[in-house]
Amino acid sequence: AEKRLRQSEKLAIIGELSAGVVHEIRNPLTSIKGFLQLMQAGTINTTDYIQILTTEVERIEQISNDLLAFAKPSDELKPQNLVQIMHDVIFLMRGQAERKHVDIDWTPSSDSTLTILGDASQLKQVLINIVKNGIEASKDGGKLKITASKTNGHAVIEITDNGEGIPADKLAKIGQSFFTTKEKGTGLGLMVSYKIVKNHHGKITIDSKEGEGTTFRLHFPLFLKKVKEV
Ligand code: ADP
Ligand code: MG
């Protein structure tokens, strides 16, 4: 029943978002249509515009991916090892990091197991979004430091980049739908991440200094195995 409730909440949120989504998708569509008309009329050199069209199509694709990751019904919350999930995410993201020569420094401290109740694919999605943002904010040759630890009943994951940082006036807008400072951004990654973390009874905190870097800190209640009563 709780699963159904969460699913209907998610659909309601997507309903609220839909006007924004339509707007965000209509811009690239308008541009694609315009270029196709010019191409058809023979007024422009087709090859010059293929890159623009590809970029616009990719933008629509990214918006769809972000929303689908969120809309997908979540599996039942089960005990998951957050350290293992972080490990898998780093494995997935290392290609993107290497292309930018960003060094990922991953130290799960002494805790090789941090068990929380969750949906593995949604947790993975959150970590991917934050690691990806960290790489995108980094300069070529930057560093992403990732740690996992335990503090009073909580599992804590910290993802710190030494990239551009977030100016104070933008900090308040982080996580709002469609807030992006990137040319190809969707501004949906963190919105989706905040909702997922909230559904996991966790929270996200941010420390950032413009020009110095940013730390995203994820807190989740640890899952404590019930001891059988005798
Ligand atoms: P997108 O990545 O598509 O822009 P997100 O929701 O993932 O959307 O992020 C929203 C905005 O938050 C980004 O455009 C960027 O301005 C800011 N941001 C997120 N993470 C970082 C970071 N690690 N360093 C600097 N800015 C960040
Ligand atoms: Mg992002």
pLDDT tens figures, 42-71: 888 888 788 889 988 988 888 888 887 777
Cβ–ligand 1 distance for 134 under 6 Å, the answer yes
Angle, nearest 10°, between helix axes 120-137 and 189-199?
140
Residues of the chain with pLDDT > 70, as a percent, come to: 96
Residue of minimum CA distance from atom 12 in ligand 1: 174
The H or E element spanning position 104 is strand 103-107
Q: For 123-152, write each residue's pLDDT tens digit.
A: 999 999 999 999 999 999 999 999 999 998
Pick the residue with more confidence: 220 or 56?
220
- Identify which of 160, 180, 197, 209 to mutate to test ligand 1's pocket (most ligand atoms within 8 A of the CB): 180
Say if ligand 1 is within 6 A of residue 28 CB.
no
Residue range 85-94, pLDDT digits in tens = 999 999 999 9
- Residue 84 Cα to ligand 1 midpoint, Å, equals 25
Does ligand 1 come within 6 angstroms of the Cβ of 180? yes
Ligand 1: distance of its center to the CA of 164 in Å? Answer: 10
Among 157, 168, 171, which residue's Cα sits nearest to residue 202? 157
- What's the CA-to-centroid distance between 38 and ligand 2, angstroms? 33
pTM (predicted TM-score): 0.84
**144, containing H or E segment:** strand 143-151
Closest CA to 80 of 110, 112, 120: 120
- Report d(CA 116, CA 25) in Å as an integer: 36
Q: Which has the higher per-residue pLDDT, 23 or 230?
A: 23
Alpha carbon of 191 to ligand 2 centroid (Å): 9
